[in-house]
Amino acid sequence: MIRFILCGLVLLTGTPALAQPLIIAHRGASGERPEHTRAAYELAIEQGADVIEPDLVLTRDGVFVDRHENEIGGTTDVGDRPEFAGRRTTKTIDGVETTGWFTEDFTLAELKTLRARERLPALRPGSAAFDGQEPILTFDEVVAIAREASARTGRTIAVAPELKHPTYFAAIGLPMEDGFVAELELLGLTGAEAPIIIQCFEVGRLERLATRIDAPLAQLVAAKGGPADRADVTYAQMITPEGLKAIAAYAAWVAPEMTLVLPRAADGRTTAPSTLVADAHAAGLKVVVWTLRAENAFLPVERRRGDDPAGHGDMTGYASAFAEAGVDALFTDFSALVRPGHRNDR
């Protein structure tokens, strides 16, 4: 098997990690190209990403497609398509009322006629210049991109799919679990050494997947709230030493929001690292934080450069601070800034 350069499968399978964190391209090079597109993924791989991340939602005909949310008004040109104007509606997703166009109201064939757009055009006008060029991808197409890049570069490029809103989809008659396992089986991605990390905020989905496949799983954890399928559990409880031991019973990774590892004070400056990384490692878990972005709007005060929210600050230094805190991997929109100077040989 081709193995990752630097960190590679040692992090996916639980063998002791090397010092340099794995780079997971968050929706691809999504700071520079519209997210979840072939262009975004290929650029991220060229910039040194070890893993590319597709967020997975379902179409009306039950196909896994690659969008951050099932609402696609902000990331495609659907709002400019008069034939779909009547499908704009309001739904409640995991307790949040949302108005727009939703993947579950479209067939795959219909979605394939749409084109991707930059989600944050005011902050990322350079990326927005590529609007309208790329179609929506299916999960198997993202896996194919990773495999093509693996063959081209001589190193394994993994995928890190996130199952989005599985409880919601199950409630509308589109359960994710069986179809996802079937697709993983077809793609040969169910084994313990498969180049994949499967993520979800919900607990039950990961627990059930752990009984059906051996591929690495990652429990996502936000700074506030709790999992949609466990009303009596908070994320804060899940990252206590006891909570982390419970996660380790079904997952190989815990994936906390970055401020849970490097907290920020009231003035927006980073404080001393929390004990989360040490506690997770003690429980036998790897740690991947999300999401490093280069724009000042997303950085702690001491990493900002200038007053423009869209201006780039010191994201490279911020990434180094997480490496020093002991994290095993980083989600980022800017892979090139995590490992400066790295480019693949083409």
Least Cα distance to 318 among 337, 336, 335 occurs for 337
Q: Which helix (H) or strand (E) holds 44?
A: helix 38-46
**pLDDT at site 6:** 38
Residues 31 and 127: their CA atoms lie apart, in Å, by 7
Angle value at C-alpha 216, between 145 and 31, nearest 5 degrees:
45
Strands (E), the chain: 22-25, 51-52, 55-58, 64-66, 89-93, 96-100, 158-159, 162-163, 198-200, 217-221, 253-256, 286-292, 329-332
Query: SS3 of 318, please?
Result: helix
Residues 292 and 322: their CA atoms lie apart, in Å, by 10
**pLDDT at site 4:** 40
Least Cα distance to 259 among 204, 213, 310, 321 occurs for 321
- Decide: 273 and 281 in contact? Cβ < 8 Å: no
Q: At residue 207, what is the residue type?
A: E
Residues 203 and 209: their CA atoms lie apart, in Å, by 10
Least Cα distance to 145 among 24, 54, 69 occurs for 54
**pLDDT at site 12:** 54
Domain boundaries, the chain: 22-70+135-332
User: Comparing 8-22, 80-94, 196-210, which segment has the lowest mean pLDDT?
Assistant: 8-22
CATH class of 22-70+135-332: alpha beta
Question: Is residue 15's pLDDT more than 60?
Answer: no
- Decide: 187 and 140 in contact? Cβ < 8 Å: yes
pLDDT > 70 in the chain, percent: 92
**pLDDT at site 58:** 98
Query: SS3 of 283, please?
Result: coil
Angle value at C-alpha 17, between 12 and 21, nearest 5 degrees:
85
Query: What would the pLDDT profile of 250-276 be if each residue is shown by its tens digit?
Result: 999 999 999 999 999 999 999 999 999
Burial of 211 (0-12, 13-18, 19+ CB in 10 A): exposed
DSSP state, residue 123: T
What does the pLDDT average to over 144-158? 97
The 10 Å CB-count burial string (b at 16+, else e) for 275-313 is: ebbebbbebebbbbbbbbbbbbebbbeebbeeeeeeebb
339 band by pLDDT with thresholds 50, 70 and 90 = confident
Q: Give Cα 91 distance to the centre of its chain.
A: 23
**pLDDT at site 24:** 98
Query: What would the pLDDT profile of 81-94 be if each residue is shown by its tens digit?
Result: 999 999 999 999 99
Tokens describing residue 197: 């990390």
Query: What would the pLDDT profile of 112-124 be if each residue is shown by its tens digit?
Result: 999 999 999 999 9
Query: What would the pLDDT profile of 287-330 be if each residue is shown by its tens digit?
Result: 999 999 999 999 999 999 999 999 999 999 999 999 999 999 99
What does the pLDDT average to over 181-192? 98
Q: At residue 172, what is the residue type?
A: I
Strands in 64-66's sheet, in edge-to-edge order, are 64-66, 55-58, 162-163, 198-200, 217-221, 253-256, 286-292, 329-332, 22-25, 51-52, 158-159
**pLDDT at site 45:** 97
